Amino acid sequence: MNPLELAGARPGPAFTVTFDGRPVEALPGQTVAAVLWAAGITSWRATRGEGRPRGVFCGIGVCFDCLVTVNGRPNRRACLVPVRPGDVIGTQEGTGHEGVCHAD
């Protein structure tokens, strides 16, 4: 039995988001991290110094290991951000601000 069956949950219909250009199925109420884990994706950020892979560590928004870019916005905590239909999610490199110009 899966967790949805055990809880008697009946989520709304699935929808699609994209991760690094790849379509991924999501359910209403899932976080970005839950969607990526369910799709078999366990790493979506590289550390600044050595480029080591990171994904969920604490799962409650404290550690910032799960940072991801959502709809062009970097530094979103995947464990806290709920997905919405059509979201564009991307691997975050470093601080997520490389190549971004800011007006003075």
- Residue at 18 is within a domain: yes
41-68 as b/e: b if 16+ CB within 10 A: beebbeeeeeeeebbbeebeeeeebbbb
**Cut 0.95: pTM above it:** no
Domain at 81, CATH number: 3.10.20.440
- Mean pLDDT confidence for 66-73: 94
- Residue at 101 is within a domain: no
Q: Render pLDDT for 70-97 as a digit per residue (tens, 0 to 9).
A: 999 999 999 999 999 999 999 987 666 6
Our count of domains for the chain comes to 1
- Residue at 37 is within a domain: yes
Candidates 101, 69, 87, 94; CA nearest to 24 is 87
pLDDT above 70: residue 41: yes
Asked if 67 and 92 touch (Cβ cutoff 8 Å), the reply is yes
- Residue at 57 is within a domain: yes
